[in-house]
Amino acid sequence: MADLVEEGLSREAALRIALAARALPEIVLAGFVRALTDRLGMPLNTEKLGSVSVADLQQILKGDGAGQSIERSALKQAVRFLRGEEGVEAELPQVYDYAEGDMPESIRVAVASNSAENLDGHFGSCLRFLVYQVSRAEIRLIAARPTGQTDVAGDKNAARAELIGDCHLVCVQSIGGPAAAKVVRAGLHPLKFSEPGPARATLGKLQAALAVPPPWLAKILGVVPATLAPFAEGLDA
């Protein structure tokens, strides 16, 4: 963002553009600034950015061949950032203390998020990962990890996987094949949910599954799957 300020943009305008670029998968910030300038003219300011609609943004990105391929939910999120309707810090949910062993037989889940306490992000472009500890009795938000530092890494997807490497699962709206492979190599299990929504609603369904975990979840928990429970004694022998 410092480069944008140096180019003569106000800090507020630079922040809006940087956040919008991060909400759009595969968009390079420098190219995004050029596309905005071509459409809106110089100088870019908050008034001009505040006038951008989803249809405008599609046209702005059309020159890169990206406008039609980006999902509408991501375009809407980017427009909200450009207009200043949302920011990164303003709506972060409350994080609670957690010490290892506080929640026996729990798993740690990362949620790709762009706003509040929602599951509404793509693995490669979400603004943050919300990290929850989930047991049969409790869902506790224990961290909110911004992803900004991963954008300058040599391998952004590997850096994002490392950022949540202490988790067992990562819930996203979408994730590409190469990124999914890196997530799996980092020891995480990716779960895709195409429709955005409250993170706790999704985690509630996962929480219910902890009572009688399917084989893949039982493996993460280190317990015998319910389908194999009758044979557990023989397996331990």
Q: What is the pLDDT of residues 83-127, one digit of tens each?
A: 877 655 545 788 999 998 899 889 999 999 987 899 988 898 888
pLDDT band of 44, cuts 50, 70, 90: confident
Question: Contact 132/206 with Cβ under 8 angstroms?
Answer: no
Report the alpha-carbon distance of residue 228 to residue 13 in Å, rounded: 58
DSSP annotation string for 134-193: E-SS-EEEEEEEE-GGGGGSSSHHHHHHHHTTT-SEEEES---HHHHHHHHHTT-EEEE-
pLDDT of 230:
39
| Arithmetic mean of pLDDT, 193-198 | 90
Report the alpha-carbon distance of residue 29 to residue 57 in Å, rounded: 14
Lowest mean pLDDT among 3-7, 27-31, 42-46, 217-221: 3-7
Greater model confidence, 216 or 57: 57
Mean pLDDT of the chain: 82
The DSSP letter of residue 140 is E
H or E segment and range at residue 159: helix 156-163
pLDDT of 96:
94
Instruction: Name the token pair of 73.
Output: 């939910």
Residue 159 predicted with pLDDT over 90: yes
| Arithmetic mean of pLDDT, 158-184 | 94
Lowest mean pLDDT among 80-89, 133-142, 219-228: 219-228
Greater model confidence, 69 or 120: 120
The b-or-e profile of 129-151 (16+ CB within 10 A means b, else e) is bbbbbbeeeebbbbbbeebeebe
Q: What domains can be seen in the chain, in order of their start residue?
A: 2-82 (1.10.150.590), 107-221 (3.30.420.130)
Lowest mean pLDDT among 1-15, 29-43, 168-182: 1-15
71 CB-near residues (< 8 Å, 6+ apart): 173, 174
pLDDT of 10:
76
pLDDT of 220:
74
Residue 168 predicted with pLDDT over 50: yes
pLDDT band of 192, cuts 50, 70, 90: very high
Greater model confidence, 67 or 207: 207
H or E segment and range at residue 18: helix 11-23
User: Is residue 164 packed enough to be buried (19+ CB in 10 Å), middle (13-18) or exposed (0-12)?
Assistant: buried
Report the alpha-carbon distance of residue 218 to residue 226 in Å, rounded: 8
* Model confidence pLDDT, tens digit, residues 3-18: 554 445 777 788 788 8
Residue 194 predicted with pLDDT over 70: yes
Which amino acid is residue 15, in one-letter code?
Answer: L
